[in-house]
Amino acid sequence: MIDDNWDLINGEAAHAIEVLNYSNQVNVIEALVRLLTHNHGIDEKGCLVGPNVNVLREFHRTATLFLLHHPGEFRTDQVHVATQDGRVVHMPPSHDEVATHMTRFFQLIEAQWREADAVNIGAYALWVVNWVHPFKNGNGRSARAFCYACICLKIGFFLPGSPTVIDLIMQNRDEYQSALKVADEAYAATGEPELGPMIAFVGGLLVQQLSTVPVTPSE
């Protein structure tokens, strides 16, 4: 799907840049996992520290470089999520609430990191970034990268297998959108997202990715 909501360029040329940026983003995720596991260590609960807000900003910067005027910066205007026919399906918080939501999110990540399950925290991150929509554009790309980074760090290494969870999310777009909708509607009604479908979705994709890794027979 071609995104025609960029600042600097659109159409097929923009899509070519998106593909190049995605390759760079995957390398940045692997570099992050290597950095944090080397500098902070791992144990049976994974890397001892989780990613912070600067990581999210860098994922966005990498994904939207040469596409947006201000890659990696939180938005300063209201945005909405709409279908191709113009139907609005999500109205994120006002731009002046973004910093507060992001601060709360990263405080929770830090507080729960050590005891969190890899899939659960990845699914939660995937929903939060999509719900807040902290950037002008490129939020989905940033959310998927951050979700995957959380999973890799909690497991303790950059995961093998292809296609990755990031790729598989977009290959299963309908189920992805459905899980986001369930979480959004529950949050609007109760103040708490219903993440069951998202956790099941992300967990299934992780199994699918790892099932592609060749198994070396034991001698």
Q: What is the pLDDT along the chain (219 residues), one digit of tens a residue?
A: 567 789 999 999 999 999 999 999 999 999 999 999 999 999 999 999 999 999 999 999 999 999 999 999 999 999 988 877 778 888 999 999 999 999 999 999 999 999 999 999 999 999 999 999 999 999 999 999 999 999 999 999 999 999 999 999 999 999 999 999 999 999 999 999 999 999 999 999 999 999 999 987 765
Does a structural domain hold residue 1? no
Does a structural domain hold residue 28? yes
Whether the CB-CB separation of 158 and 30 falls below 8 Å is answered with yes
Binding residue per annotation — 81? yes
Tell me what pLDDT residue 215 has: 80
Does a structural domain hold residue 5? no
Binding residue per annotation — 89? yes
Does a structural domain hold residue 58? yes
Q: How many domains does the chain have?
A: 1
Does a structural domain hold residue 84? no
Binding residue per annotation — 143? no
Binding residue per annotation — 55? no
C-alpha torsion angle, residues 155, 156, 161, 165 (rounded to 10): 50
Tell me what pLDDT residue 2 has: 61
Binding residue per annotation — 95? no
Active site residue: 15, 69, 70, 133, which one?
Answer: 133
Does a structural domain hold residue 82? no
Helices (H), 86-172: 98-112, 118-132, 139-155, 165-171
Q: How far is it, in rounded angstroms, from Cα 80 to Cα 64?
A: 18
Euclidean distance between the first and the last CA atom of the chain, given in angstroms as a whole number: 46
Tell me what pLDDT residue 86 has: 79
Domain, as residue range, for 200 = 12-75+90-210
Binding residue per annotation — 141? no
Does a structural domain hold residue 176? yes
Binding residue per annotation — 86? yes
For residue 34, what is the domain's CATH number? 1.10.3290.10
Annotated active-site residue 133? The verdict is yes
Q: Tokens 């290597």 correspond to what residue?
A: 34
Does a structural domain hold residue 172? yes
> Residues 39-61, buried b or exposed e (16+ Cβ, 10 A)?
eeebeeebbbebbeeebbbbbbb
